[in-house]
Amino acid sequence: MRRVAITGMGVVAAIGHDVEAFTNALRAGQGGLAPAEGLDQVPKGIAVVGQVRGFDAEARLGRDRLPMLDPFSQFGLAAADEAIAMAGLDFRADPALGTRTACIIGTGGAGIATLQDGFVRLFRDGKSRVNPFTVPRYMGNAACSHVTMAHGITGPSFAVTSACATANHAIGLGFHMVRGGGADCAVVGGTDALVNFGNLKAWEALRVVARDTCRPFAKDRTGMVVGEGAGVFVLEPWEAARARGATILAEMIGFGMGADAGDIVMPSVEGAARALRACLDDAGLDADGVDHINAHGTATTANDVTEARAIQAVFGDRAGTIPVTSTKSFTGHALGAAGGLELVAAIQTVREGYIAPTLNVTEVDPECPLDVVTGAGREGPVGTALSNSFAFGGLNAVLAIRRAE
Amino acid sequence: MSTLENKLFDIVVQKTGLERDRLSRDASIKDLEISSLDFVEIVFAVEEEFDIEVPYNANTMDSDFNTLGDIVDAVQAEVAKQQG
Protein backbone atom coordinates (compact mmCIF):
# COMPACT_ATOMS: atom_id res chain seq x y z
CA MET A 1 0.00 0.00 0.00
CA ARG A 2 1.15 3.49 -0.85
CA ARG A 3 1.42 6.50 1.42
CA VAL A 4 -0.96 9.26 0.37
CA ALA A 5 -0.10 12.95 0.22
CA ILE A 6 -2.58 15.82 0.21
CA THR A 7 -1.09 18.29 -2.26
CA GLY A 8 -3.99 20.63 -2.92
CA MET A 9 -7.05 22.02 -1.24
CA GLY A 10 -9.73 24.51 -2.07
CA VAL A 11 -12.60 25.91 -0.07
CA VAL A 12 -15.66 28.12 -0.32
CA ALA A 13 -17.47 28.95 2.91
CA ALA A 14 -19.19 31.66 4.87
CA ILE A 15 -15.81 32.69 6.28
CA GLY A 16 -13.94 32.86 3.00
CA HIS A 17 -14.01 31.93 -0.65
CA ASP A 18 -10.47 30.52 -0.74
CA VAL A 19 -8.03 28.80 1.59
CA GLU A 20 -6.21 31.99 2.56
CA ALA A 21 -9.35 33.89 3.60
CA PHE A 22 -10.77 30.81 5.33
CA THR A 23 -7.56 30.27 7.30
CA ASN A 24 -7.27 33.93 8.25
CA ALA A 25 -10.82 33.89 9.61
CA LEU A 26 -10.09 30.79 11.69
CA ARG A 27 -6.93 32.49 13.02
CA ALA A 28 -8.77 35.68 13.85
CA GLY A 29 -11.70 33.88 15.44
CA GLN A 30 -14.04 35.58 13.00
CA GLY A 31 -17.14 33.48 12.52
CA GLY A 32 -19.37 33.75 9.47
CA LEU A 33 -22.83 33.29 10.95
CA ALA A 34 -25.23 36.15 10.24
CA PRO A 35 -28.84 36.74 9.19
CA ALA A 36 -29.60 35.46 5.69
CA GLU A 37 -29.17 37.99 2.91
CA GLY A 38 -30.66 38.28 -0.54
CA LEU A 39 -33.71 36.08 0.01
CA ASP A 40 -37.25 37.33 -0.67
CA GLN A 41 -38.25 35.88 2.63
CA VAL A 42 -36.46 34.26 5.58
CA PRO A 43 -38.28 31.67 7.72
CA LYS A 44 -39.19 33.01 11.14
CA GLY A 45 -37.15 30.51 13.15
CA ILE A 46 -33.91 31.02 11.24
CA ALA A 47 -31.85 33.55 13.21
CA VAL A 48 -28.52 33.15 11.40
CA VAL A 49 -27.01 31.08 8.60
CA GLY A 50 -23.53 30.20 7.39
CA GLN A 51 -24.20 31.73 3.99
CA VAL A 52 -21.61 32.16 1.24
CA ARG A 53 -21.95 35.92 0.66
CA GLY A 54 -20.64 37.94 -2.24
CA PHE A 55 -19.26 34.96 -4.13
CA ASP A 56 -18.14 36.29 -7.52
CA ALA A 57 -19.12 33.34 -9.67
CA GLU A 58 -18.51 35.21 -12.91
CA ALA A 59 -14.93 36.10 -11.96
CA ARG A 60 -14.17 32.63 -10.64
CA LEU A 61 -15.84 30.50 -13.29
CA GLY A 62 -16.52 32.65 -16.33
CA ARG A 63 -19.86 33.98 -17.49
CA ASP A 64 -20.38 31.37 -20.21
CA ARG A 65 -20.47 28.52 -17.78
CA LEU A 66 -22.99 29.95 -15.32
CA PRO A 67 -26.28 29.01 -17.02
CA MET A 68 -25.42 25.35 -16.46
CA LEU A 69 -24.25 25.77 -12.87
CA ASP A 70 -26.49 25.55 -9.83
CA PRO A 71 -24.76 27.27 -6.88
CA PHE A 72 -23.73 23.85 -5.52
CA SER A 73 -21.77 23.23 -8.71
CA GLN A 74 -20.34 26.76 -8.62
CA PHE A 75 -18.94 26.25 -5.13
CA GLY A 76 -17.63 22.77 -5.93
CA LEU A 77 -15.97 23.85 -9.14
CA ALA A 78 -14.37 26.93 -7.57
CA ALA A 79 -12.97 24.82 -4.73
CA ALA A 80 -11.69 22.19 -7.17
CA ASP A 81 -10.02 24.87 -9.34
CA GLU A 82 -8.20 26.18 -6.28
CA ALA A 83 -7.15 22.72 -5.09
CA ILE A 84 -5.85 21.60 -8.49
CA ALA A 85 -3.97 24.88 -9.01
CA MET A 86 -2.43 24.54 -5.55
CA ALA A 87 -1.31 21.00 -6.36
CA GLY A 88 0.27 22.30 -9.55
CA LEU A 89 -1.34 19.62 -11.69
CA ASP A 90 -2.59 20.01 -15.25
CA PHE A 91 -4.55 16.97 -16.35
CA ARG A 92 -5.14 18.37 -19.82
CA ALA A 93 -1.40 18.58 -20.37
CA ASP A 94 -0.99 15.05 -19.03
CA PRO A 95 -3.96 13.04 -20.36
CA ALA A 96 -2.46 9.77 -19.14
CA LEU A 97 -2.59 11.08 -15.57
CA GLY A 98 -6.12 12.39 -16.22
CA THR A 99 -7.19 8.86 -17.05
CA ARG A 100 -5.60 7.54 -13.84
CA THR A 101 -7.27 10.25 -11.76
CA ALA A 102 -10.51 9.75 -9.82
CA CYS A 103 -12.97 12.57 -9.24
CA ILE A 104 -15.42 12.06 -6.37
CA ILE A 105 -17.44 15.13 -5.41
CA GLY A 106 -20.37 14.48 -3.09
CA THR A 107 -23.39 16.56 -2.19
CA GLY A 108 -26.27 16.40 0.24
CA GLY A 109 -28.82 18.76 -1.26
CA ALA A 110 -27.60 18.77 -4.89
CA GLY A 111 -29.43 21.36 -7.02
CA ILE A 112 -32.18 22.09 -4.54
CA ALA A 113 -32.12 25.82 -5.41
CA THR A 114 -32.68 25.06 -9.08
CA LEU A 115 -35.58 22.74 -8.30
CA GLN A 116 -37.06 25.34 -6.01
CA ASP A 117 -36.82 28.05 -8.68
CA GLY A 118 -38.67 25.76 -11.08
CA PHE A 119 -41.40 24.92 -8.59
CA VAL A 120 -41.87 28.60 -7.71
CA ARG A 121 -42.48 29.35 -11.38
CA LEU A 122 -44.91 26.46 -11.79
CA PHE A 123 -46.86 26.51 -8.56
CA ARG A 124 -46.65 30.11 -7.38
CA ASP A 125 -46.19 32.23 -10.46
CA GLY A 126 -48.46 30.20 -12.71
CA LYS A 127 -45.84 29.89 -15.43
CA SER A 128 -45.89 26.80 -17.59
CA ARG A 129 -42.17 26.31 -18.19
CA VAL A 130 -39.05 25.78 -16.09
CA ASN A 131 -35.42 26.61 -16.82
CA PRO A 132 -34.41 24.45 -19.81
CA PHE A 133 -31.30 23.31 -17.93
CA THR A 134 -33.16 22.28 -14.78
CA VAL A 135 -32.13 18.63 -15.08
CA PRO A 136 -28.39 19.11 -15.78
CA ARG A 137 -28.26 21.80 -13.06
CA TYR A 138 -29.96 19.91 -10.25
CA MET A 139 -28.62 16.38 -10.77
CA GLY A 140 -26.45 15.23 -7.89
CA ASN A 141 -23.45 14.45 -10.07
CA ALA A 142 -23.46 17.90 -11.73
CA ALA A 143 -20.61 19.33 -9.62
CA CYS A 144 -18.48 16.22 -10.12
CA SER A 145 -19.12 16.22 -13.86
CA HIS A 146 -18.22 19.90 -14.21
CA VAL A 147 -14.92 19.33 -12.38
CA THR A 148 -14.03 16.49 -14.75
CA MET A 149 -14.99 18.61 -17.77
CA ALA A 150 -13.11 21.70 -16.60
CA HIS A 151 -9.92 19.77 -15.90
CA GLY A 152 -9.90 16.83 -18.27
CA ILE A 153 -10.19 14.17 -15.58
CA THR A 154 -11.22 10.99 -17.36
CA GLY A 155 -10.75 8.36 -14.65
CA PRO A 156 -13.31 6.87 -12.22
CA SER A 157 -15.69 9.71 -11.35
CA PHE A 158 -18.97 9.86 -9.47
CA ALA A 159 -20.85 11.62 -6.70
CA VAL A 160 -21.67 10.22 -3.29
CA THR A 161 -24.37 11.27 -0.88
CA SER A 162 -24.62 10.64 2.85
CA ALA A 163 -26.04 13.86 4.25
CA CYS A 164 -23.62 15.35 6.81
CA ALA A 165 -20.92 12.72 6.14
CA THR A 166 -20.88 13.12 2.35
CA ALA A 167 -17.54 14.90 2.00
CA ASN A 168 -15.75 12.48 4.32
CA HIS A 169 -17.06 9.53 2.34
CA ALA A 170 -15.91 11.12 -0.93
CA ILE A 171 -12.48 11.99 0.47
CA GLY A 172 -12.06 8.62 2.17
CA LEU A 173 -12.95 6.69 -0.97
CA GLY A 174 -10.42 8.67 -2.99
CA PHE A 175 -7.82 8.07 -0.29
CA HIS A 176 -8.37 4.31 -0.40
CA MET A 177 -8.23 4.30 -4.21
CA VAL A 178 -4.90 6.14 -4.28
CA ARG A 179 -3.47 4.12 -1.40
CA GLY A 180 -4.52 0.80 -2.95
CA GLY A 181 -3.43 1.64 -6.49
CA GLY A 182 -6.90 1.99 -8.03
CA ALA A 183 -6.04 5.56 -8.99
CA ASP A 184 -2.83 7.59 -9.23
CA CYS A 185 -4.51 10.80 -8.18
CA ALA A 186 -7.88 11.78 -6.73
CA VAL A 187 -9.80 15.04 -6.71
CA VAL A 188 -12.28 14.63 -3.88
CA GLY A 189 -14.60 16.57 -1.63
CA GLY A 190 -18.12 17.80 -1.03
CA THR A 191 -20.29 20.75 -1.94
CA ASP A 192 -23.70 22.11 -1.00
CA ALA A 193 -25.66 25.33 -1.55
CA LEU A 194 -28.38 25.35 1.06
CA VAL A 195 -29.32 28.90 1.95
CA ASN A 196 -32.61 29.21 0.11
CA PHE A 197 -36.13 29.68 1.46
CA GLY A 198 -37.47 26.18 0.86
CA ASN A 199 -34.49 24.40 2.33
CA LEU A 200 -34.36 26.67 5.38
CA LYS A 201 -38.07 25.98 5.88
CA ALA A 202 -37.36 22.25 5.77
CA TRP A 203 -34.69 22.54 8.47
CA GLU A 204 -36.86 24.78 10.56
CA ALA A 205 -39.70 22.24 10.31
CA LEU A 206 -37.49 19.59 11.90
CA ARG A 207 -37.13 21.88 14.94
CA VAL A 208 -33.42 21.37 15.33
CA VAL A 209 -32.19 24.84 14.28
CA ALA A 210 -30.59 27.12 16.86
CA ARG A 211 -32.61 29.95 18.30
CA ASP A 212 -29.60 32.25 18.46
CA THR A 213 -26.35 30.86 17.04
CA CYS A 214 -24.20 27.73 16.80
CA ARG A 215 -22.71 26.84 20.21
CA PRO A 216 -21.15 23.37 19.91
CA PHE A 217 -20.70 21.50 23.22
CA ALA A 218 -22.06 24.46 25.19
CA LYS A 219 -24.53 23.97 28.00
CA ASP A 220 -26.92 26.53 26.52
CA ARG A 221 -26.75 25.32 22.90
CA THR A 222 -30.10 25.32 21.11
CA GLY A 223 -29.30 23.58 17.85
CA MET A 224 -27.52 23.69 14.52
CA VAL A 225 -27.13 26.51 12.01
CA VAL A 226 -27.52 25.82 8.28
CA GLY A 227 -24.36 26.57 6.32
CA GLU A 228 -23.08 25.92 2.80
CA GLY A 229 -19.92 25.84 0.71
CA ALA A 230 -17.41 23.37 -0.68
CA GLY A 231 -14.14 21.71 0.26
CA VAL A 232 -12.09 19.86 -2.35
CA PHE A 233 -8.68 18.13 -2.13
CA VAL A 234 -6.03 16.62 -4.35
CA LEU A 235 -4.62 13.31 -3.14
CA GLU A 236 -1.70 11.50 -4.73
CA PRO A 237 0.90 8.88 -3.87
CA TRP A 238 3.50 10.30 -1.49
CA GLU A 239 6.42 9.26 -3.66
CA ALA A 240 4.88 10.75 -6.79
CA ALA A 241 4.31 14.04 -4.99
CA ARG A 242 7.89 14.02 -3.70
CA ALA A 243 9.29 13.12 -7.09
CA ARG A 244 7.63 16.07 -8.79
CA GLY A 245 8.61 18.43 -5.98
CA ALA A 246 5.04 19.21 -4.93
CA THR A 247 4.35 20.87 -1.61
CA ILE A 248 2.77 18.23 0.63
CA LEU A 249 0.17 19.84 2.88
CA ALA A 250 -0.37 16.77 5.04
CA GLU A 251 -0.45 12.99 4.85
CA MET A 252 -3.77 11.18 4.78
CA ILE A 253 -3.41 8.10 6.92
CA GLY A 254 -6.82 6.68 7.76
CA PHE A 255 -10.47 6.41 6.92
CA GLY A 256 -13.15 4.56 8.87
CA MET A 257 -16.84 4.29 8.10
CA GLY A 258 -19.92 2.44 9.20
CA ALA A 259 -23.65 2.64 9.79
CA ASP A 260 -25.64 2.92 13.02
CA ALA A 261 -28.48 0.78 11.69
CA GLY A 262 -30.45 2.68 14.30
CA ASP A 263 -32.61 5.75 13.77
CA ILE A 264 -33.01 8.08 10.80
CA VAL A 265 -32.23 11.17 12.89
CA MET A 266 -31.07 10.11 16.38
CA PRO A 267 -27.33 9.38 16.45
CA SER A 268 -25.81 6.37 18.18
CA VAL A 269 -22.77 6.26 20.48
CA GLU A 270 -21.89 2.75 19.33
CA GLY A 271 -22.14 3.67 15.64
CA ALA A 272 -19.94 6.74 16.00
CA ALA A 273 -17.44 4.82 18.13
CA ARG A 274 -17.28 2.05 15.52
CA ALA A 275 -16.35 4.55 12.81
CA LEU A 276 -13.71 6.14 15.06
CA ARG A 277 -12.17 2.74 15.81
CA ALA A 278 -12.30 1.74 12.15
CA CYS A 279 -10.38 4.92 11.31
CA LEU A 280 -7.73 4.29 13.97
CA ASP A 281 -7.33 0.70 12.72
CA ASP A 282 -7.06 1.87 9.13
CA ALA A 283 -4.43 4.43 10.12
CA GLY A 284 -2.54 2.01 12.34
CA LEU A 285 -2.97 4.45 15.23
CA ASP A 286 -3.72 3.59 18.82
CA ALA A 287 -5.72 5.85 21.10
CA ASP A 288 -2.52 7.53 22.33
CA GLY A 289 -1.56 8.52 18.82
CA VAL A 290 -4.26 11.13 18.29
CA ASP A 291 -3.39 14.75 19.12
CA HIS A 292 -6.55 16.53 18.06
CA ILE A 293 -10.13 15.91 16.95
CA ASN A 294 -12.04 18.19 14.61
CA ALA A 295 -15.49 17.24 15.85
CA HIS A 296 -18.73 16.80 13.98
CA GLY A 297 -19.98 19.24 16.67
CA THR A 298 -23.29 20.35 15.17
CA ALA A 299 -24.49 21.93 18.44
CA THR A 300 -27.69 19.92 18.57
CA THR A 301 -28.43 18.43 21.96
CA ALA A 302 -28.33 14.92 20.56
CA ASN A 303 -25.16 15.10 18.46
CA ASP A 304 -22.83 16.73 20.93
CA VAL A 305 -23.61 14.40 23.83
CA THR A 306 -23.46 11.35 21.56
CA GLU A 307 -20.17 12.46 20.05
CA ALA A 308 -18.65 13.13 23.49
CA ARG A 309 -19.69 9.64 24.64
CA ALA A 310 -18.30 8.04 21.50
CA ILE A 311 -14.96 9.81 22.05
CA GLN A 312 -15.00 8.60 25.66
CA ALA A 313 -15.81 5.06 24.54
CA VAL A 314 -12.84 5.00 22.16
CA PHE A 315 -10.23 7.04 24.04
CA GLY A 316 -11.12 6.16 27.63
CA ASP A 317 -9.18 8.23 30.16
CA ARG A 318 -7.56 10.29 27.39
CA ALA A 319 -10.92 11.56 26.14
CA GLY A 320 -10.88 14.62 28.37
CA THR A 321 -7.34 15.61 27.37
CA ILE A 322 -7.53 15.54 23.55
CA PRO A 323 -8.22 19.05 22.26
CA VAL A 324 -11.49 19.06 20.36
CA THR A 325 -12.93 21.85 18.25
CA SER A 326 -15.95 22.40 16.02
CA THR A 327 -15.42 24.40 12.85
CA LYS A 328 -19.22 24.57 12.45
CA SER A 329 -19.24 27.39 14.99
CA PHE A 330 -17.55 29.46 12.21
CA THR A 331 -19.23 28.08 9.09
CA GLY A 332 -22.53 26.60 10.18
CA HIS A 333 -23.37 23.08 9.10
CA ALA A 334 -22.56 22.85 5.40
CA LEU A 335 -23.92 19.27 5.27
CA GLY A 336 -22.43 17.58 2.23
CA ALA A 337 -19.55 20.05 2.28
CA ALA A 338 -19.02 20.02 6.05
CA GLY A 339 -16.32 17.34 6.10
CA GLY A 340 -14.48 19.26 3.39
CA LEU A 341 -14.48 22.57 5.25
CA GLU A 342 -13.41 20.76 8.40
CA LEU A 343 -10.58 18.89 6.69
CA VAL A 344 -9.19 22.23 5.48
CA ALA A 345 -9.28 23.41 9.11
CA ALA A 346 -7.63 20.18 10.32
CA ILE A 347 -4.90 20.36 7.67
CA GLN A 348 -4.12 23.95 8.63
CA THR A 349 -3.97 22.84 12.25
CA VAL A 350 -1.30 20.19 11.65
CA ARG A 351 0.61 22.56 9.36
CA GLU A 352 0.59 25.57 11.63
CA GLY A 353 0.33 24.09 15.10
CA TYR A 354 -2.74 26.11 15.89
CA ILE A 355 -6.20 24.83 16.78
CA ALA A 356 -8.94 27.34 16.04
CA PRO A 357 -11.45 27.76 18.85
CA THR A 358 -15.02 26.60 19.04
CA LEU A 359 -16.88 29.91 18.99
CA ASN A 360 -19.88 30.92 21.09
CA VAL A 361 -19.19 28.52 23.95
CA THR A 362 -20.29 30.19 27.16
CA GLU A 363 -19.85 27.15 29.38
CA VAL A 364 -19.00 23.60 28.29
CA ASP A 365 -21.89 21.20 28.92
CA PRO A 366 -20.93 18.80 31.74
CA GLU A 367 -22.59 16.12 29.61
CA CYS A 368 -19.79 16.72 27.07
CA PRO A 369 -16.67 16.38 29.23
CA LEU A 370 -14.16 17.02 26.47
CA ASP A 371 -11.21 19.40 26.18
CA VAL A 372 -13.15 21.84 24.00
CA VAL A 373 -10.82 24.53 22.63
CA THR A 374 -12.40 27.94 23.17
CA GLY A 375 -11.30 31.57 23.54
CA ALA A 376 -8.34 32.49 21.35
CA GLY A 377 -7.69 28.93 20.17
CA ARG A 378 -4.59 26.95 21.09
CA GLU A 379 -0.98 27.04 19.92
CA GLY A 380 1.24 23.96 19.96
CA PRO A 381 2.38 21.17 17.68
CA VAL A 382 -0.29 18.78 16.41
CA GLY A 383 1.07 15.63 14.76
CA THR A 384 -2.11 13.75 13.99
CA ALA A 385 -5.74 14.79 13.76
CA LEU A 386 -9.08 13.11 13.21
CA SER A 387 -12.04 14.72 11.48
CA ASN A 388 -15.45 13.32 12.41
CA SER A 389 -18.64 13.29 10.36
CA PHE A 390 -21.77 11.58 11.68
CA ALA A 391 -24.74 11.87 9.34
CA PHE A 392 -28.49 11.84 9.64
CA GLY A 393 -29.39 8.30 8.71
CA GLY A 394 -26.60 6.98 10.91
CA LEU A 395 -23.88 6.96 8.24
CA ASN A 396 -20.54 7.76 9.86
CA ALA A 397 -17.16 8.59 8.36
CA VAL A 398 -13.93 9.58 10.10
CA LEU A 399 -10.70 10.72 8.46
CA ALA A 400 -7.18 10.77 9.93
CA ILE A 401 -4.29 12.96 8.81
CA ARG A 402 -0.69 13.45 9.88
CA ARG A 403 1.65 16.41 9.62
CA ALA A 404 3.85 16.07 6.55
CA GLU A 405 7.30 14.87 7.59
CA MET B 1 -62.28 21.25 28.77
CA SER B 2 -61.92 23.99 26.15
CA THR B 3 -62.44 23.34 22.45
CA LEU B 4 -58.80 24.10 21.88
CA GLU B 5 -57.72 21.59 24.49
CA ASN B 6 -60.08 19.02 22.97
CA LYS B 7 -58.71 19.52 19.49
CA LEU B 8 -55.15 19.35 20.74
CA PHE B 9 -55.74 16.11 22.61
CA ASP B 10 -57.39 14.66 19.49
CA ILE B 11 -54.18 15.40 17.62
CA VAL B 12 -52.03 13.82 20.35
CA VAL B 13 -54.17 10.66 20.29
CA GLN B 14 -54.01 10.54 16.53
CA LYS B 15 -50.21 10.92 16.39
CA THR B 16 -49.24 8.74 19.34
CA GLY B 17 -52.02 6.15 19.76
CA LEU B 18 -52.18 7.02 23.48
CA GLU B 19 -55.42 6.32 25.39
CA ARG B 20 -57.48 9.49 25.53
CA ASP B 21 -58.15 9.15 29.28
CA ARG B 22 -54.42 9.43 30.01
CA LEU B 23 -54.37 12.95 28.61
CA SER B 24 -54.87 15.95 30.86
CA ARG B 25 -53.38 19.39 31.34
CA ASP B 26 -51.14 18.04 34.07
CA ALA B 27 -49.99 14.92 32.22
CA SER B 28 -46.21 14.96 31.83
CA ILE B 29 -44.88 14.59 28.29
CA LYS B 30 -42.03 12.48 29.65
CA ASP B 31 -44.39 10.12 31.52
CA LEU B 32 -46.51 9.73 28.39
CA GLU B 33 -43.28 8.76 26.58
CA ILE B 34 -43.92 11.13 23.70
CA SER B 35 -40.66 11.15 21.73
CA SER B 36 -39.19 14.35 20.34
CA LEU B 37 -40.04 13.20 16.81
CA ASP B 38 -43.67 12.45 17.74
CA PHE B 39 -43.68 15.89 19.28
CA VAL B 40 -42.44 17.46 16.04
CA GLU B 41 -45.39 15.82 14.26
CA ILE B 42 -47.84 16.94 16.93
CA VAL B 43 -46.64 20.54 16.74
CA PHE B 44 -46.88 20.44 12.94
CA ALA B 45 -50.47 19.17 13.11
CA VAL B 46 -51.36 21.80 15.73
CA GLU B 47 -49.86 24.56 13.58
CA GLU B 48 -51.83 23.36 10.58
CA GLU B 49 -55.05 23.09 12.58
CA PHE B 50 -54.84 26.54 14.17
CA ASP B 51 -52.81 28.28 11.46
CA ILE B 52 -50.16 29.46 13.91
CA GLU B 53 -46.43 28.96 14.51
CA VAL B 54 -45.48 27.40 17.82
CA PRO B 55 -41.98 28.34 18.98
CA TYR B 56 -40.82 24.79 19.56
CA ASN B 57 -37.21 23.61 19.40
CA ALA B 58 -36.44 19.90 19.81
CA ASN B 59 -33.09 20.80 21.42
CA THR B 60 -34.73 22.61 24.31
CA MET B 61 -37.97 20.62 24.47
CA ASP B 62 -37.40 19.45 28.05
CA SER B 63 -37.10 22.95 29.42
CA ASP B 64 -39.87 24.49 27.30
CA PHE B 65 -42.68 21.94 27.56
CA ASN B 66 -43.19 19.69 30.56
CA THR B 67 -46.90 18.98 30.45
CA LEU B 68 -49.66 18.91 27.87
CA GLY B 69 -50.98 22.03 29.58
CA ASP B 70 -47.79 23.84 28.54
CA ILE B 71 -48.61 23.10 24.91
CA VAL B 72 -52.23 24.17 25.35
CA ASP B 73 -51.01 27.47 26.84
CA ALA B 74 -48.48 28.01 24.06
CA VAL B 75 -51.12 27.40 21.40
CA GLN B 76 -53.60 29.63 23.21
CA ALA B 77 -51.03 32.41 23.38
CA GLU B 78 -50.23 32.13 19.67
CA VAL B 79 -53.92 32.06 18.72
CA ALA B 80 -54.53 35.13 20.89
CA LYS B 81 -51.57 36.90 19.27
CA GLN B 82 -53.01 36.20 15.86
CA GLN B 83 -56.46 37.45 16.81
CA GLY B 84 -55.00 40.47 18.62
**Pairwise CB contact (< 8 Å): A207 & B53:** no
Whether the CB of B58 is below 8 Å from some CB of chain A: the reply is yes
Q: Give the separation between CA A47 and CA A53, rounded to whole angstroms.
A: 16
Q: A318: exposed, middle or buried (C-beta count within 10 Å: 0-12, 13-18, 19+)? A: middle
- pTM for the whole thing? 0.95
Q: Could you state, in order of their start, the residue ranges of all structural domains in chain A?
A: 4-243, 254-402
pLDDT of residue B61: 74
Q: Between vectors from CA A42 to CA A38 and to CA A43, what angle results, nearest 5°?
A: 165
pLDDT in tens, A56-107: 999 999 999 999 999 999 999 999 999 999 999 999 999 999 999 999 999 9
Residue A316: pLDDT band with limits 50, 70, 90: very high
How many domains is chain B built from?
A: 1
pLDDT of residue A169: 98
Contact A17, A57 (CB under 8 A): no
Q: Give the separation between CA A127 and CA A270, rounded to whole angstroms.
A: 50
pLDDT of residue A335: 98
Q: Do domains A4-243 and A254-402 have the same CATH topology?
A: yes
Contact A186, A101 (CB under 8 A): yes
Contact A389, A168 (CB under 8 A): yes
Among residues A87, A88, A86, A73, the alpha carbon closest in space to that of A148 is found at: A73
For B:5-34, CB contacts with A below 8 A are: none
The whole-chain average pLDDT of chain A stands at 97
Q: Give the separation between CA A64 and CA A51, rounded to whole angstroms.
A: 25
Any idea which fold A4-243 has? Peroxisomal Thiolase; Chain A, domain 1 (3.40.47)
pLDDT in tens, A347-391: 999 999 999 999 999 999 999 999 999 999 999 999 999 999 999
pLDDT of residue A283: 98
pLDDT of residue A75: 98
Residue A185: pLDDT band with limits 50, 70, 90: very high
CB pairs under 8 A between A and B: 36
Whether the CB of B38 is below 8 Å from some CB of chain A: the reply is no
pLDDT in tens, A27-52: 999 999 999 999 989 998 999 999 99
pLDDT in tens, A298-315: 999 999 999 999 999 999
Sorted by sequence, the CB contacts under 8 Å of residue A374 that are 6+ apart come out as A357, A358, A361, A364
**Pairwise CB contact (< 8 Å): A211 & B58:** no
Active site amino acids of A = 164, 296, 333
- Chain B: residue whose CA lies nearest to A266: B37
Whether the CB of A209 is below 8 Å from some CB of chain B: the reply is yes
Q: CATH number of the domain that B28 lies in?
A: 1.10.1200.10
% of chain A beyond a pLDDT of 90: 98
Partners of A232 in beta bridges? A10, A189
Whether pLDDT at A201 is above 80: yes
**Full pLDDT tens readout for chain B, 84 residues:** 788 899 999 999 999 999 999 999 999 999 999 888 888 899 899 999 999 988 888 888 777 889 999 989 989 998 888 777
B39, B57, B82: best to mutate for the A interface, most A CBs within 10 A: B57
Which residues form the domain of B58?
3-83
Domain A254-402 has CATH 3.40.47.10: yes
Residue A253: pLDDT band with limits 50, 70, 90: very high
Task: Name residue B67's amino acid.
Answer: T
pLDDT of residue A32: 98
